[in-house]
Every structure is written in C-alpha cells, then in structure tokens.
Amino acid sequence: MSALIITTNYGVEQDELKKPIEALRGAGVDFTLAASEEGPVQSLVSDKDPGETFEPDVVLADAEMGDHAVLVIPGGTINADNLRMDESAVALVRSFAADGRTIASICHGPWLLAEADVARGKMATSYPSLTTDLRNAGAEWDDVELQRCEKEGWTLLTSRNPSDLDVFAPAVVEAAR
C-alpha cells in the first residue's frame, strides 16, 4: 500500500511533513506528496522561520485516492488554513472517509476534517486552539498524543503538535501498510 500526503506550497510545519516522510521511507512504504501548485513546498518552523523545501510529486488537483491506504494531513497554521479552502483537498478527505480508508492529521491539519464535514461522531485531538472548531464540527476532542478513532466506518489518527511525532509517524507507517 502507500500514503498520500497533501499540503500547500507554503506554510506547512517542517517536522510534521518531514518526519512522516522519513518514517515512510525508512519502512520502505511508497508515498505521494501532493501540493497545491507546481513548484517546491516551503516549510516553516514554528509557523515563522523558513524551513526545508520539498519537491511534490503531483499537483493537488491531479491527486487521486488510487491505492493509497492513508491520507496524511500535516499542520502548520498557514498550511492548514489554506488547505481547508482548497476544493481538491476537501474532496480527497471526503473520498477517503467515504471509502473507509484511514486519515492521519496532526496539529492544525484537522481543520480540514471540519471543513470536509467528516469529523462528526469521531474522537480527535489537535493543536488546542482547534478544540472548539472540532467540537462544533461534531467531534469529541481529547488532549492526548495520539487519538485513534475507528467510529463512523473509517479510521482517524490525530495528534496535537510536533512533540507527538514519535507516536504519530509510526502510526502513519502502520496505516500505510
């Protein structure tokens, strides 16, 4: 199987993209990185300092669910806020949930779950500032390093912030296998 990672071209939190990619590569699991536009993805560290750049494999509008077992949504405030306004990203989230596949999202990434209206009935965690948004979208929010929820016919993996990557990245790998 494989993973589909979606992001905008600016503002993704560096480690929330880098660590899952490294974990997938290390486990020999294929992945596709889809970005909003052609050109490099400029990550940020703590939403402000320039981080590493990453080369996407495909433009988000051309990304397909295909045989990907898991959809990965990294955070970063700017990234997540723009990603939730991208119709292609919203459609992919809805498709993965409707098909019973896993979605893994960290930090501010769960904003996209609320936008796609797939959070209802799920247990989730996120960066604390999203608590009200997720609750208003029908999720039950909890402050844990990794929330795994299999309700509503599909699996949701969520984590709070980069300090949770040691449990989030292996969960992504497990879901992609």
- Judge whether residue 1 has pLDDT over 90: no
d(C-alpha 157, C-alpha 177), whole Å: 15
pTM: 0.98
Give the mean model confidence (pLDDT) for residues 59-87: 97
What does the pLDDT read at residue 47?
95
Please state the three-class secondary structure of 55-79 as a single string: CCCEEHHHCCCCCEEEEEECCCHHH
- Of all residues in the chain, what percent carry a pLDDT higher than 90? 99
Q: What element of type H or E holds 53?
A: strand 49-54
Catalytic residue IDs: 107
Q: Which domain holds residue 60?
A: 2-176
Q: What DSSP string runs through 129-145?
A: GGHHHHHHTTPEE---S
pLDDT, tens digit (0-9, with 9 covering 90-100), for 15-68:
999 999 999 999 999 999 999 999 999 999 999 999 999 999 999 999 999 999
Contact 10, 77 (CB under 8 A): no
Contact 6, 63 (CB under 8 A): yes
Give the mean model confidence (pLDDT) for residues 92-97: 98
- Judge whether residue 141 has pLDDT over 90: yes
What does the pLDDT read at residue 41?
98
Give the mean model confidence (pLDDT) for residues 97-107: 98
At 82, phi and psi to the nearest 5?
A: -75, -35
| Domain tally, the chain | 1
Q: How far out from the chain centre does Cα 105 lie?
A: 4
CATH number of the domain at 139, please: 3.40.50.880
- Judge whether residue 9 has pLDDT over 90: yes
d(C-alpha 33, C-alpha 41), whole Å: 10
- Judge whether residue 105 has pLDDT over 90: yes
Helices 14-26 and 165-176 pack at an angle, to 10 degrees, of 50
Q: What element of type H or E holds 42?
A: strand 41-45
